[in-house]
Structure 1
């Protein structure tokens, strides 16, 4: 029996059409997440490299961004569905400290605790040592006898900015007597190398890189300022959170599984290998690995500091990931304390608007992840007075004494 050429063509076309329809039907929904090259983008990287996003039914595209301002703008305009982001950024942006007041970026979950640091330049070698906060003010004044002193952070009202300002307050430094500038994390070491600033607060590996290159030394880690503090969060576009709730939930489940994997210390060398790649953090593997394992070669002949339960954590039996309204309120209180805001914002109302704690509770329940119940209870950081979220006014009054 003869088969016509036209019939074969038609049959082939039909097969191609059916295959194409099947592929489209099988395609996973795509989600775009941004990140800054920092060690604590590890939950997103691990979820991608371990195939966890696909496991939970989403095709996540990770995009490396140049600065926190880029992250802010792209999350707000929907170019990114979400991002690895400073926990303080949504509050900074909403209150007008770091963006257009009233702009909503929402926090779905916390990605990590601890693991940032303050690096000082070699100008301070021999003047102040590791965690010697009481000697910092005198050291700054001594350096100011030769030059102006400038410190850098990564985003106004972000976590690094607030750790820096709390450290200066604890040290007794008049914050108007020094310069404070904004520099993206990956550019910190290069700027210190050319003497653009004498100190900075940033996430790893950029403190470790400065020490390894003999450009500066680690004076204090952020967990020494506030043990188990919130650091990075999964921050999402408001419309995405509302309109693609199931996709967001699946993204969160993948990241939660990655956070648990990362807190198995035996997996951290593998994670460091991924992070060192040019398309992720692009920094020396030994530096990333050491600090991810809790070992900090401080630089300036200060030796090695070992962190045990308070190194960078991503899960910590569930403690890390619950987003707390009281932590958002604390950040906004710092904006008033340090003069960013002239009057008190609606602390609780803004925190309730920006933190998706109901969503997290739903995801955690489905993923069998513990939900912490300590939100809205008083807490205390290392060098500060106790913060009671039910009486922010009393806290602010006590910081002025």
Structure 2
């Protein structure tokens, strides 16, 4: 009798342990996103059951603003999110959050595909990429009202594209207003004349053009071709304690990125993105700009991009997070007076970018690892070469 009792106790313990480990494995991972076209890797991974394929249960959470994304990643309410590549550096340095708080970059999700939209006030004064005419147009408009530009998060990618563009236009950033507005609210705010221009991701540049609210003046790939844009950013404790689950999430997203860079798949992706619970915007705008065709508005015609449209994989070039890019963004914070003190560039990059994790995942999937990190590069609107090993030299030249 005692033997039978022990046997049943043994079975009970086995069942309990099995249920516990099964429950632990099936923990739902929560990933946030902002309704933008470049949230596509997360959407595709969800719609194609790629998360499930790689052994994780993932819930996607549509968020209202980048500040929401920041707060929820830091609190652990979100395990990770589709996020501005530069946000972790902005938050850590105290520009866009509490200094010293850490958000980790696991991988890059996209290159290119953002834009600067100008209001109809500029129509006829400035054309596509005619940034040499912007300063005089701004002065013209300032004779009758203040000129304000909007971006999406202090120290975020859109903020830095905007400030780089202003510098290239010869406009002192202090001579105009710069405000923060969440991406989905850009068009509505321009419609009621809250600003004369904004920098944001698609589809909100295309929506302004099709609704005759504004026109696309320049795309971000015209500012810096193949720049890092969105990243998979994760809670630091999640990255530390759930490394294997994070690797599975990354594998699913990388597979989605590969699928997205087959251009024949982008119409299907646009159909998913247009849904109310994702981007909830005009299908034709999402689709055409995903395919590299931008109807600019203001009777400027259509601009077609051949190799520098929004990319998600590009044979692995897109997805590797680079420390040199982190150092570039940190140097921009110094350049534009957003930071008073010179940061420890490399230490911050080392702390916030999970290079070893990405390399491990990429190698397991036979994805090529780019060999350009920490090498000098130059953006489109600058004549100065940026050397990530010597950002102080770049800053001295940029001030001249």
Runs of 4+ residues deviating >4 angstroms: 21-24
Q: Which runs of 5+ in 2 are unaligned?
A: 1-14
Q: CA deviation at 1:30?
A: 1.6
Q: CA deviation at 1:145?
A: 1.1
**Equivalent-residue separation in structure 2 for 1:123 and 1:116 (angstroms):** 21
Q: CA deviation at 1:99?
A: 0.3
Alignment match, 1:25: 22
Alignment match, 1:5: none
Alignment match, 1:386: 385
Alignment match, 1:397: 396
Alignment match, 2:112: 114
Q: Deviations over 1:113-139 (max 9, x none)?
A: 000000000000000000001111111
Please, which of 258, 265, 273 is the counterpart of residue 267 of structure 1?
265
Q: Which runs of 5+ in 1 are unaligned?
A: 1-17
Q: How many residues align?
A: 386
**Equivalent-residue separation in structure 2 for 1:210 and 1:152 (angstroms):** 14
- Could you say what secondary structure the match of 1:57 adopts? coil
**Equivalent-residue separation in structure 1 for 2:367 and 2:277 (angstroms):** 31
Matches within 5 A, 1:241-252: 241-252=239-250
Q: Deviations over 1:23-76 (max 9, x none)?
A: 983763321000000000000000000110000000010000000000000001
Please, which of 309, 312, 320 is the counterpart of residue 311 of structure 1?
309
- Could you say what secondary structure the match of 2:359 adopts? helix
**Equivalent-residue separation in structure 1 for 2:120 and 2:155 (angstroms):** 27
- Could you say what secondary structure the match of 1:318 adopts? coil
**Equivalent-residue separation in structure 2 for 1:358 and 1:398 (angstroms):** 33
Matches within 5 A, 1:121-270: 121-270=119-268
Asked whether the equivalents of residues 29 and 247 of structure 1 are also in contact (C-alpha less than 8 Å), the reply is no
**Equivalent-residue separation in structure 1 for 2:22 and 2:190 (angstroms):** 52
Tell me whether 1:42 sits opposite 2:40 in the alignment: yes
Q: CA deviation at 1:204?
A: 0.1
Question: TM-score normalised to the size of structure 2?
Answer: 0.94
Question: TM-score normalised to the size of structure 1?
Answer: 0.94
**Equivalent-residue separation in structure 1 for 2:375 and 2:215 (angstroms):** 36
Asked whether the equivalents of residues 91 and 328 of structure 1 are also in contact (C-alpha less than 8 Å), the reply is yes
Q: Deviations over 1:322-354 (max 9, x none)?
A: 000000000000000000001210001000000
**Equivalent-residue separation in structure 2 for 1:191 and 1:145 (angstroms):** 22
- Could you say what secondary structure the match of 1:173 adopts? coil
